[in-house]
Chains A and B, each alone.
Chain A
Amino acid sequence: MGGPLGDAIKKALLAALVTFGLSFPIVVFLTRVNLSNQLVLQPRWWLAGLFAAAAFIISFAVAILRPGGVERAPLTTVMSTAPPHPIIRILPRAGLVFLIAYPVLVLLATGNAGAVKWIDNFGIQILIYILLAWGLNVIVGFAGLLDLGFVAFYAVGAYSTGLLAKTFGLSFWILLPLAGILAAFWALIVGLPVLRLRGDYIAIVTLAFAEIVRLVLVNWVPVTGGYAGVSGIPAPSIAGYTFTMGPNNIATALGLPPSPLYRLFFLFYLILALVVLCYWVTTRLRTLPVGRAWEAMREDEIACRSLGISIAKTKLSAMAAGAFFGGLGGAFFASRQGFISPESFVFMESAVLVAIVVLGGLGNMMGVAIAATVMIGGTELLRELTVLKRVFGPDFDPTQYRMLLFGLAMVMIMVWRPKGLIASREPSVRLGTEPPPRTGPVTVPAE
């Protein structure tokens, strides 16, 4: 075989073979328990075949339609500083307006029952992840410190809120900043040993720190309750009025009909306020000397030292600032759920957050927000795809393919947009001078 058709078939066959090889150990054997309570393997060769066939068709189609191969983004060393696309420029304001209107829109569109799901599972859930991802973005995106244990700060915020609220009866409004401060404090503690480390070593230390935090939560049963967690965390209240059912319910006090929606509206606008605060603070910090030092440290630590910038202070301030927002997220999470356990603070959460920051574009806040929306919203959306059950049978659970889709999205982003969804960097300050025309006198490079 020769020619373009032969090449396409060869390529497609290879893709099919690789897909078969990869899917074989993952999807072929279904384990289930039979009537006599024995574990049995149920082979599903057809499923691996289906995957391979799909890979063949896609690869063949791509090879025929794009004979030159898929165009990949060039791997440049520096991000463009060209003014961003107008859509990206209006995104922060447009997004904020949309989010303020969102609960009302959802209520009008889906009625009371649907609104609970869309505000809670989608709105609040996504906003929590945006807050956490922006916090992590300070550490990974701005300062370039690969933190694989960000969930530890989230856990510190959540547990300090839960335990202090239950033990000392402190109000949520005191605990919210306190949780942030405590998380920042622990960031300084873990930051000290990583001061002399770089790159991969920071990743290992932060990963270990998160595991230590989780194991303490699991094993320090008298304080943390171990796997049973902390339950009955009081929900936030305003001036003594709560949003949950009870004697001081705000709706009863105002003579409104009882509904779970008041609580959700309150929680939604609360987390939205925290997200807006985080956006305002981090975008401002970026244009301040401390934020510029973070980015300079990411670019070249040695050059920083030669300019009188203390790497210790810069690293610690980045860790603390990022962890502060993680702590706020934890405090919100604890009082929203009313119950926390170590299972919410596993490594997977850190990994998802790092994935969101990388996919969005390191250091780009709007890109990170979009990535969080797509990743978390997409996962929730999978639950909604009941249509697929009609295609694949009633046993089909689309959420089980969450990680598969997650991985697929990452591979595609890395191929087409290796620097993330929004791969540009807005300078912290512009002079506004025009670059010289390309034909103008350019300094001759060295021979």
Chain B
Amino acid sequence: MRWQTDPLLVVDHLSMRFGGLVAVNDLSFTVGRGDITALIGPNGAGKTTVFNCITGFYKPTSGRIALAHGGAVTAEAADALTGSDQRHTHGEKPELFLLERMSDHEIAATARVARTFQNIRLFPGMTVLENLIVAQHKTLMRASKLSMAGLLGLAGYRAAEKKALDLARAWLDVVNLTDRADMPAGELPYGAQRRLEIARAMCTNPVLLCLDEPAAGLNNRESAELTRLLRGIRAQTGVSILLIEHDMSVVMDISDHVVVIEYGTKIADDTADSVKNDPKVIAAYLGVEDEEEAEAVAATTEGIKP
């Protein structure tokens, strides 16, 4: 269980309120290094809110989101960092980040968490290739030295740009879009746009890739392709993947670890196989009557009793 022994991301007592509405309520879970973790739950359960908190688009009302580079998140290290006024450790291994203290672009650039969106957000007027180059903004910006090295076309910048192009090209091959590299991204068919968005997120060189419903709107064949693509990405880069998904065949097929939430609270957290048979999860998805649910829960607790 890598999410217990080698956690990359630890979400601790996360709560998010919008006025009187509690979208996420005291949620804790971990994401294991190299795992594909699925965050599932009925509509309105607060999955996307959790995503927005992790990626910095929302500031959580309370709670801690700790991420480590090059090692596991340990409670002692996280507590020590929380006690300081720092947002991340400097130069220590493993390097620790407190995401709830960082802004969205810092999380992407320094904590290296990349994300995609439920309703695809490409740069539609820019070409497929440009979308992938823009994603390498941080590296290229550093090489362009306040644009001066870039303006004068110095060798250092030209080398960095060539490297960026090579990386983009490699990802184009992975998502099978090389022949459409110079087309405006907005003119791609839907499935290709989904793949491009994933490739663009990967061009930021993330340690954690967050995918918000990557299979939404895909047909069965495309979903199967997506599953293959995600497995391939993980095998090649070792990136950890956290995804929200409604398509249960995709979830059960690729997830090492499934976290189920309902009304902002966690109701199950285990391997795909055990979650699949969890009566609370079944109840949440099938909408069982309250009494039946209570009975079902009672039945399992009895079953677990020695």
Q: Do A and B bind each other?
A: yes
Chain A contact residues, CB within 8 Å of chain B:
77-81, 281, 284-285, 288-290, 292-293, 295-296, 298-300, 302-311, 425, 427-436, 442-447
Query: A299 is contacted by which of B125, B150, B169 (Cβ under 8 Å)?
Result: B125
> A442 vs B192: C-alpha distance in the bound complex, in angstroms?
10
3 closest A-B pairs by CB: A308-B109, A308-B108, A299-B123
- Contact indicator A81/B127 (Cβ below 8 Å): yes
List the count of A-B residue pairs having beta carbons below 8 Å apart: 163
Distance in angstroms from B254 CB to nearest chain A CB is: 20
Known: A288-B150, A295-B123, A300-B122. A432 touches B191 (CB 8 A): no
B182 at the interface (CB under 8 A from A): yes
- Contact indicator A293/B182 (Cβ below 8 Å): no
- Contact indicator A311/B129 (Cβ below 8 Å): no
> A299 vs B104: C-alpha distance in the bound complex, in angstroms?
18
- Contact indicator B140/A431 (Cβ below 8 Å): no
Query: A429 is contacted by which of B106, B133, B141 (Cβ under 8 Å)?
Result: B133
- Contact indicator B191/A307 (Cβ below 8 Å): no
Collect the chain A residues with CB atoms within 8 Å of residue B105's CB. Answer: 304-305, 307-311
- Contact indicator B134/A306 (Cβ below 8 Å): no
B151 at the interface (CB under 8 A from A): yes
Collect the chain B residues with CB atoms within 8 Å of residue A446's CB. Answer: 190-191, 217-219, 222
Collect the chain A residues with CB atoms within 8 Å of residue B183's CB. Answer: 81, 435
- Contact indicator B57/A307 (Cβ below 8 Å): no
- Contact indicator B182/A290 (Cβ below 8 Å): no
> A308 vs B140: C-alpha distance in the bound complex, in angstroms?
12
> A298 vs B134: C-alpha distance in the bound complex, in angstroms?
13
- Contact indicator B121/A303 (Cβ below 8 Å): yes
- Contact indicator A307/B125 (Cβ below 8 Å): no
- Contact indicator B147/A306 (Cβ below 8 Å): no
- Contact indicator B189/A434 (Cβ below 8 Å): no
- Contact indicator A78/B186 (Cβ below 8 Å): yes
B130 at the interface (CB under 8 A from A): yes
Query: A443 is contacted by which of B140, B184, B189, B204 (Cβ under 8 Å)?
Result: B189
Distance in angstroms from A28 CB to nearest chain B CB is: 46
- Contact indicator A299/B190 (Cβ below 8 Å): no
> A427 vs B200: C-alpha distance in the bound complex, in angstroms?
17
- Contact indicator A285/B151 (Cβ below 8 Å): yes
- Contact indicator A293/B137 (Cβ below 8 Å): yes
Instruction: Give residues of chain B (222-257) contacting chain A, Cβ–Cβ below 8 Å.
Output: 222
B117 at the interface (CB under 8 A from A): yes
> A284 vs B201: C-alpha distance in the bound complex, in angstroms?
26
B71 at the interface (CB under 8 A from A): no
B180 at the interface (CB under 8 A from A): yes
Collect the chain A residues with CB atoms within 8 Å of residue B186's CB. Answer: 77-78
Query: A305 is contacted by which of B104, B124, B191 (Cβ under 8 Å)?
Result: B104
B179 at the interface (CB under 8 A from A): yes
B144 at the interface (CB under 8 A from A): yes
Distance in angstroms from B232 CB to nearest chain A CB is: 17
Distance in angstroms from B199 CB to nearest chain A CB is: 12
Count of chain B residues near A, Cβ 8 A: 56
- Contact indicator A299/B222 (Cβ below 8 Å): no
Collect the chain B residues with CB atoms within 8 Å of residue A427's CB. Answer: 126-127, 129-130, 182
B74 at the interface (CB under 8 A from A): no
B114 at the interface (CB under 8 A from A): yes
Chain B contact residues, CB within 8 Å of chain A:
55, 57, 104-106, 108-110, 114-115, 117, 121-127, 129-130, 133-138, 140-141, 144, 147, 150-151, 165, 169, 172, 178-184, 186-187, 189-192, 200-201, 204, 217-219, 221-222
Nearest to B135 among chain A residues (CB) is A307
Could you list 11 examples of A-B contacts with CB < 8 Å?
Answer: A79-B125, A296-B126, A299-B126, A300-B121, A308-B105, A309-B105, A429-B165, A430-B129, A431-B178, A443-B190, A444-B221
- Contact indicator B191/A281 (Cβ below 8 Å): no
Query: A306 is contacted by which of B104, B136, B138, B179 (Cβ under 8 Å)?
Result: B104
> A295 vs B110: C-alpha distance in the bound complex, in angstroms?
23
Collect the chain B residues with CB atoms within 8 Å of residue A289's CB. Answer: 136-137, 140-141, 144, 147, 150
Distance in angstroms from A387 CB to nearest chain B CB is: 45
Known: A284-B150, A288-B147. A309 touches B134 (CB 8 A): yes
Nearest to A289 among chain B residues (CB) is B140
Nearest to B195 among chain A residues (CB) is A443
Nearest to A307 among chain B residues (CB) is B135
> A306 vs B144: C-alpha distance in the bound complex, in angstroms?
21
- Contact indicator A445/B138 (Cβ below 8 Å): no
- Contact indicator B219/A444 (Cβ below 8 Å): yes
Known: A77-B186, A427-B130, A431-B178. A306 touches B108 (CB 8 A): yes
- Contact indicator A307/B134 (Cβ below 8 Å): yes
Distance in angstroms from A391 CB to nearest chain B CB is: 47
Distance in angstroms from B138 CB to nearest chain A CB is: 5
- Contact indicator A305/B108 (Cβ below 8 Å): yes
Nearest to B210 among chain A residues (CB) is A306
Nearest to A298 among chain B residues (CB) is B125
Collect the chain B residues with CB atoms within 8 Å of residue A429's CB. Answer: 129-130, 133, 165
Distance in angstroms from B147 CB to nearest chain A CB is: 5
- Contact indicator A431/B129 (Cβ below 8 Å): yes
- Contact indicator A434/B179 (Cβ below 8 Å): yes
Distance in angstroms from A5 CB to nearest chain B CB is: 42
> A285 vs B125: C-alpha distance in the bound complex, in angstroms?
18
> A429 vs B122: C-alpha distance in the bound complex, in angstroms?
17
Other A-B pairs, 18, CB within 8 Å; known A296-B126, A431-B165: A78-B125, A78-B184, A281-B151, A285-B151, A289-B144, A290-B147, A292-B133, A293-B134, A300-B124, A306-B121, A307-B137, A310-B105, A427-B127, A431-B172, A431-B178, A432-B182, A435-B183, A445-B189
Known: A285-B151, A306-B108, A445-B189. A436 touches B180 (CB 8 A): yes
